[in-house]
Amino acid sequence: MDRDAFLAELKTICGDRGVLHQAADLLVYEYDGSVDGAVDTERPLAAVLPTSTEQVSAVVRLAYRYGAPVVARGAGTGLSGGAVARGGGVIIALTRMDRTLRVDPVNRTALVEPGVINLELSQSVGPQGMFFAPDPSSQKACTIGGNVAENSGGPHCLKYGVTTNHILGLEVVLPDGTVTWIDAHGPGVGGLDLVAILVGSEGMLGIVTKILVRLMPSPESVHVHLAAFGTMDDAAVCVTNVIGAGILPASLEMMDQLTIKAVEPAYHAGYPMDAAAVLLVEVDGTGAEVDEMSAQIERIAGESGATSFRSAQSAAEQELLWKGRKMALAAMGRLAPNYYLHDTVVPRTRLTETLRAVNDISQEFRLDIANVFHAGDGNLHPLMLFDRRKSGDVERILEASHELIKTCVSMGGTLSGEHGIGSEKQGYMELIYTGEDLAAMAGIKLAFDPRERMNPEKVLPKGYMCGEVRALHNQAMAQKHGIHPM
């Protein structure tokens, strides 16, 4: 590739200020929110900052002609290495495409560009009595485009679902630069749900440039409760009992004592320092149903062994309780210089034994592990605390991580609830998928991107791309049906 010619053409598309290619300018684009050391960094050839779909399309078309890989990037808060430019190439940073183009209060939808900040969308439509339900802990910084790429969740996904449940249509730039609109929810639409395929595809199939989102009506009443427990087992049992009673809170979050130790001195959220675990429970709906659910939850918490139970008395107190939960990661610096955050999911009914297993791993590998997670749907976020400057700490972290993932899978769980696979967990995909499953996924990737230029070397383990896909598929079918593949 003629690098100078390529950069010159990029500048004709996005302007001099829209193309970064000096080493110092590219430092921030070498990594995303993944923990240093867990995912290798890699410097892209350039980072471009387009301001329109037309510019994105032109950049993709140019990269296609030059044979350069393309990686879409939002705010860079992703935690699985999905925005790291494997094999160099061009990072298309979509942060300048940050407009809300249309809000339809009658149909409760909004058409937004991918660079719109998650929380800012809800704030902008709040006065009209609506909100955007997916709310990752990074919602003050993460973008809607990034949410689409990773199929993000958040505390309120227990009741409202993850990102894919709130996306109605997408404008997508395909790997050859073609722009298309995909709408799986319009009248008379049939066939394959391509929107569902694209949401959570981690930028491997195309680049999303406009998003039609579903907005939810703001609830009439919201109550936030804090229940403290003397043991993690009691807190986990309470989670199962609440859901088992037919109650569906908007969110049901758990934090252990180590997390409380980091969070409470930093934010003074009101978490009892002597608790082994706390549950943060939010219920919403009409005034009558919220009052009824709140009374039921308080009763169940007491029966499950809660040592205390209190309800926020004001919107400010609610916000403070939530601030402690959503800023938990930021508070971990009080306990250790580094942490490695995991994102696995186990059946809710197996929370107790899974948390015991996490504690066993903590002791076996001599690592402090803080637990702060979406308990209502079994989405765990163990935080392994370490100091990368100490000899052997990184190695122990990686060994413990391997053991943790295997343990969660053995409990009937899976690899990720909302952070995605990226490059961090692609080596574990064979723990939960057969060769035939992975070959089918690779087939979808190749149908969209036959030259494998869109976010390469992500999600799928090595050996599941190119011509190997057909051979793997034939082999799997032969084993399944007892025939010899042609």
Q: What is the pLDDT of residues 29-57, one digit of tens each?
A: 998 988 654 445 789 999 999 999 999 99
User: Contact at 8 Å (CB) between 56 and 91?
Assistant: no
Same domain, 379 and 265: yes
User: Contact at 8 Å (CB) between 59 and 13?
Assistant: yes
428 lies in some domain:
no
CA 157 to chain centre: 12
Give the bridge partners for 46, in sequence order.
Answer: 90
Average pLDDT of the residues in 315-330: 95
441 lies in some domain:
yes
CA 460 to chain centre: 17
179 HSE (CA, 13 A, CB side):
11
Q: What is the mean pLDDT of the chain?
A: 93
152 lies in some domain:
yes
pLDDT digits (tens, 9 = 90+) for 398-434: 999 999 999 999 999 999 999 999 999 999 999 999 9
Spatial distance between the Cα atoms of 438 and 465, rounded to a whole number of angstroms: 10
Nearest Cα to 433, choosing from 381, 471, 476?
476
Amino acid at 199: V
CA 70 to chain centre: 21
Same domain, 129 and 23: no
Beta strands 90-93; 46-48: pairing state: parallel
Same domain, 384 and 261: yes
Give the bridge partners for 70, in sequence order.
Answer: 90, 454
Amino acid at 364: E
Same domain, 150 and 176: yes
Count of structural domains within the chain:
4
Same domain, 355 and 246: yes
Spatial distance between the Cα atoms of 36 and 42, rounded to a whole number of angstroms: 12
Binning pLDDT at 50, 70 and 90, where does residue 87 land?
Answer: confident
Q: In the numeric block, which tokens belong to residue 25?
A: 């300018």
Distances (CA, A) of 375 to 160, 192, 241, 360, 381: 15, 33, 12, 19, 10
283 lies in some domain:
yes
Distances (CA, A) of 54 to 61, 170, 183, 204, 274: 10, 15, 20, 20, 57
Q: With a cut of 90, say whether residue 450 has pLDDT above it.
A: yes
Same domain, 163 and 198: yes
Residue 396 lies in domain: 221-410
Q: Whats the size of the chain, residue-wise?
A: 486
Percent of the chain surpassing pLDDT 70: 93
Question: Residue 463: its pLDDT value, please?
Answer: 84
DSSP 18: G
